[in-house]
A and B are shown apart, each in its own frame.
Chain A
Amino acid sequence: MTFVLSVCVAVCFGVSVYLLLGTDLKGVAMGVFLLGHAANLSIIAMSGSPVLPHQGALNPTHIKAAPILGDHPPTVALASLADPLPQALILTAIVIGFAVMGFLLTLLIITNRSAGTLVVDHLADEPVTACRADIGADPFPSAGASS
């Protein structure tokens, strides 16, 4: 089980690195999202096997129980319960990743409107200048058009 997860993580990493090295910002954004998924999967892979110790086959009775104490007697073997912490971590990471995805897609749309391109090489021609508002230019030249 852990082996399958590791392969998934490796594939996700490989694809996301390939996308990150591209020149189109849309692809780069997809690479970032995929990297987040790879990170979450790798936490699952590192948090221990879901199969009970000394039970080889993947069959429903050999999977660890949910870590809820309700029905279990207090003396239940702790090793037979799954570890809940990695799932809590991943849930947090997924929520944060969702917010980041929203921001990045918005940024792509705004950049495309203002610069007319999403190719890194064209954007890189823009010189590093001080903010226009600070040296006295109109801060929102296209505010009427976009809002």
Chain B
Amino acid sequence: MNSSFTVLLVIIPAAAGLICVPLVNRLRACRVVGVLGFGLNLGLALSLLATCQQSDGGAIVSQMGGWSAPYGISLVFDALSGLMVAAASLVALACLIHAAGSLPDASERRYFHPLVNFMMAGVILSFLTGDLFNLFVAFEIMLMASYGLLVLGRGKAQLAQAYKYVLLNLVASSVFVIAAGMIYGLLGTLNLADMARLTTELAARDALPAGFTSVGVLLLFVFTLKAGVFPLWFWLPDTYPTCPIAITALFGGVLTKVGAYAVARIFPLVFFVETPAGDAGPVLQQIVLIGAVLTMAVGVLGALAFRTLRRSLAMFIIVGVGYALYGVAIGEPGSIGGSVFYMAQSMLVMAAAFLACGLIESHLHGDDLRDGGALQKTHPWLGVLFLIGLLSIAGLPPTSGFYGKFAIIRDALGVGFTWTAIIAIGVGALSILAVLRIWCDTFWGPDPTPAPRDRAARAAALARPPSESGYAAVVLLIVSSLGIGFLPQRVSELASMAGEQVTHPDLYIAAVLGTPPGSPPSAANDQAPRSKNQTRDAAGSALPPAPPGPKPEPTPAFEPMPEPPATPTRPPAPEPTPDPLEPAPPVRPAAPEFHVSRPHAAPTRAASSDSRLSSITRPAREDRP
């Protein structure tokens, strides 16, 4: 498939948002435009993923405007970003369907549809972009639309709590601008692949610029704030639950994963580099590791402590982010593959749980778990859907949540992260306790306590009982996640591919910068065949695959479990900070300055005049001391 299809993934939601602006009072038209747009996006993402899996480099790169890589903006569609885009499109589709039945018409008319479409355009652009400043722009598109959605309906609690989200994200945006400026000052480039190439070279010569680690910490602050990682999680359970439930589900499914994705994409690529002195990269890796473990622990304790359904579920978003970053911090191909798998299915499952929570609330007229509820008597099928969602959140085997966690913890034990792995397993056990408590309080509980006065009033005022479209959205997401759970092979192959690509930055660099076969150092090309074999290996061993066949059973998937976790190509590292850049390219002998000229990377367009211009875009590093 032509690589220019990648940009359609961003253009479709943006165009749908624009179309919805004049149609904002014609709800039916808006719904059709939105559902068609996200359906189209989902199909396009899935077919691009299939192309991606068959192609050589495993990545579809398109250079915007024909400007080649380090000068223009690249959009990179590989297994990692592709899985995220597909899952996010599916979640947005389900949330739009649910909103058609649950959101009051008055709220829906207040630019709900344009805002959702614009937000998804920003989300998808931040998944696809290969440029740090473009990532900032994508974040801002996403955030501006999410600010609007956050206060949609203008509830008093909504407005009061919105400030936590808005102000923290505004500060984070400023920090992002500063970090991007610092990186441009230090490295002279903002293209992720070019940054990775430079830091790998500089680290091998032990010549990383001063302040490199500090810039990494600044970026980590920005991304982990969006992801809700440990010290920066506190805004999440206060702001998300106050929104209308379809918006809460969209935020809970998609927005935090954008932060986790940014960490998974940028940090192994650029910052987790091994220097001879061994100081810069491993420090950041330790920070991510500690943050991830604390995030899981805080998340599950919060889920046990909060007494309302929405806030408990919101804490499970935090637990999921903790697991995803834990796999990234371990830095093995298998564990990162597990993280990618976990993130993709967690989007579906968290959104499904929130949407089901909306249906439960409208039956119980409230979300307080202490009030009790015995919905199993009256709504058994809702109970089944919700239980599948909850078990998947907890990561019990037949559901999709299991495979990612299994791969992460297996690799953690394999490379010697014993203590953190024990914590991760303990968090899993507590998660089961917490989800069963939620389920028992809503479905197996006593009959609701005599309704307080205001509750009777609320019940009387309830304009729209739970509708078929709400159930349809939950069924769509739960069935998709069950599909992943019972047939994990396709997704786990893609996730293993993503793990390989993340742990071998040279693949990404070669795909984006387009290293030609005859270029002198050709470190990336030397690596390529070996890594491709590794991909095959990992596809078989990193995640327990389901047996191929027309009617696979879920149980045989566990048979690979007792295998020794070590992969043949990467023996367990003895020290607790594994080197994600083990196959780093050799030191290039002649690289005296940062702006090494790359003859092969000159702009393709109008070479006679533009080659001068492009060599100007990175000129002025000579006057720096």
Contact = CB atoms under 8 A, between A and B. Distances in A.
Contacts of B161: 126, 128
Contacts of B159: 107, 110-111, 114-115, 123
Contact of A46 (B102, B184, B362): B184
B619 A78 contact: yes
B163 A85 contact: no
B155 interface: yes
A96 B140 contact: yes
B72 to A, nearest CB: 12
Contact of B153 (A43, A111, A139): A139
Given A79-B620, A92-B137, A110-B151, A20 B103 contact: no
B220 to A, nearest CB: 17
A59 interface: no
B367 A40 contact: no
A28 B167 contact: yes
Given A47-B185, A96-B137, A135-B366, A69 B178 contact: no
Contact of A43 (B104, B181, B458): B181
Given A136-B461, A139-B107, A39 B178 contact: yes
A101 to B, nearest CB: 10
A89 B181 contact: yes
Interface residues of B, number: 74
Given A46-B185, A84-B617, A128 B133 contact: no
Interface in B125-155: 133, 136-137, 140, 144, 147-148, 151, 153-155
Contact of B144 (A39, A74, A103, A130): A103
B108 to A, nearest CB: 10
B160 A86 contact: no
Interface in A111-134: 111, 114-115, 120, 123-124, 126-134
Contact of B245 (A47, A111, A126, A131): A131
Nearest to A40: B177
A79 B424 CA distance: 53
B517 to A, nearest CB: 30
Interface in A28-74: 28, 32, 35-36, 38-40, 42-43, 46-49, 52-53, 64, 67, 69, 74
* Residue among A25, A64, A81, A93 having the largest count of chain B Cβ atoms under 10 Å: A93
* Residue among A42, A127, A134, A143 having the largest count of chain B Cβ atoms under 10 Å: A134
Contacts of A3: none
B107 A47 contact: no
Nearest to A112: B159
A69 B612 contact: yes
B502 to A, nearest CB: 27
A4 interface: no
A126 B242 CA distance: 11
* Residue among B103, B170, B459 having the largest count of chain A Cβ atoms under 10 Å: B170
Given A43-B177, A128-B161, A92 B133 contact: yes
Contacts of B177: 36, 39-40, 43, 89, 93
B158 interface: yes
A39 B160 contact: no
B163 A103 contact: no
Interface string B158-177: 11111100110011011101
B154 A130 contact: no
B221 to A, nearest CB: 14
Contact of B154 (A79, A83, A140): A140
Given A49-B623, A134-B358, A140-B154, A126 B160 contact: yes
Given A103-B144, A130-B361, A48 B623 contact: yes
Given A32-B167, A103-B147, A48 B178 contact: no
A40 B155 CA distance: 35
A92 B176 CA distance: 13
B107 A133 contact: yes
Nearest to B103: A133
B620 A89 contact: no
B365 interface: yes
A71 to B, nearest CB: 14
Nearest to B185: A46
A42 B136 CA distance: 16
B58 interface: no
A38 B171 CA distance: 11
A83 B362 contact: no
Q: Which 5 A-B pairs give the minimum distances between C-beta atoms?
A: A136-B462, A43-B181, A46-B185, A78-B619, A126-B160
11 contacts: A39-B178, A43-B177, A46-B184, A85-B184, A85-B618, A93-B136, A103-B147, A130-B245, A130-B367, A134-B358, A135-B365
Interface of B: 102-104, 106-107, 133, 136-137, 140, 144, 147-148, 151, 153-163, 166-167, 170-171, 173-175, 177-178, 180-182, 184-185, 237-238, 241-245, 248, 308, 310-311, 358, 361-362, 365-367, 458-463, 609, 612-613, 615-624
Given A83-B617, A114-B159, A134-B358, 20 more contacts: A25-B163, A32-B174, A42-B182, A43-B178, A46-B184, A53-B623, A78-B615, A96-B173, A103-B148, A104-B166, A104-B170, A114-B156, A126-B156, A131-B244, A135-B361, A135-B367, A136-B462, A138-B461, A139-B107, A143-B106
Interface of A: 20, 25, 28, 32, 35-36, 38-40, 42-43, 46-49, 52-53, 64, 67, 69, 74, 78-79, 81-86, 89, 92-93, 96, 99-100, 103-104, 107, 110-111, 114-115, 120, 123-124, 126-140, 142-143
